[in-house]
Amino acid sequence: MFTGIITDKGRVRSLRRDGDTRFVLDTAYDAAGIDIGASIACSGVCLTVVEKGADKDGNWFAVEVSGETLSCTILGDWKEGTAVNLERSLRMGDEMGGHIVSGHVDGVARVADISPQGDSLLYTFEAGDDLMAYMAAKGSVALDGVSLTVNWVEEGRFGVNIIAHTQDCTTFGSLRPGDRLNLEIDMLARYVARLMEKE
């Protein structure tokens, strides 16, 4: 379980595709404090640490990704040097700064437009009807693992304001129109919709 508050911006050090895909990610986390088998959200995808270490280039950890995960997320687009939003799993007593994020990505959104709005940037995203059904103004959404508040919703699109701090501390600062992001709908919206189907 996660909160959508990014605590490190890592980078893909290397990848190997044979059977499952193995990614090695550079991180500012102290490798000594990462347990093998621990869950880390990597741009919103909950992945299991299978190896870790530290060397002259810094701390790193490795994860393995199945074909199913590659097909449902943007991880298949990753290459050496790709920046990755990282969040370690929530622990009892941690501050709940964002919203409840499971790390189970529902689909992919695309950046349609980025425009200045005051001191922040307004990002307009496009998503399929199956995902848009769960979007609500002032509701929550996780994009590449970042907990965000939806400003507005219209047919096939929704808008989110990104402040300068979030641009600097996450991968949002390097996004351009056309880029794709992992999208996880709000867990509460998912269960409310399920209950409505039963009525």
pLDDT tens digits, 124-177: 999 999 999 999 999 999 999 999 999 999 999 999 999 999 999 999 999 999
Tokens of 145: 């693992």
Range 186-190, long-range pairs (CB < 8 A, 24+ positions): 186/99, 186/134, 186/139, 186/140, 186/141, 187/100, 187/101, 187/102, 188/100, 188/140, 189/134, 189/135, 189/136, 189/139, 190/134
The per-residue pLDDT for 187 is 79
Q: What's the CA gap between 199 and 196, in Å, rounded?
A: 5
The per-residue pLDDT for 27 is 98
Q: What's the CA gap between 106 and 186, in Å, rounded?
A: 10
Check if the beta carbon of residue 145 is closer than 8 Å to that of residue 4.
Answer: yes
The per-residue pLDDT for 99 is 86
- pTM of whole model > 0.85? yes
Q: Which helix (H) or strand (E) holds 132?
A: helix 129-132
With a cut of 70, list the residues of the chain below it in pLDDT: 92-93, 191, 193-199
Domains with residue ranges and CATH for the chain = 8-88 (2.40.30.20), 107-198 (2.40.30.20)
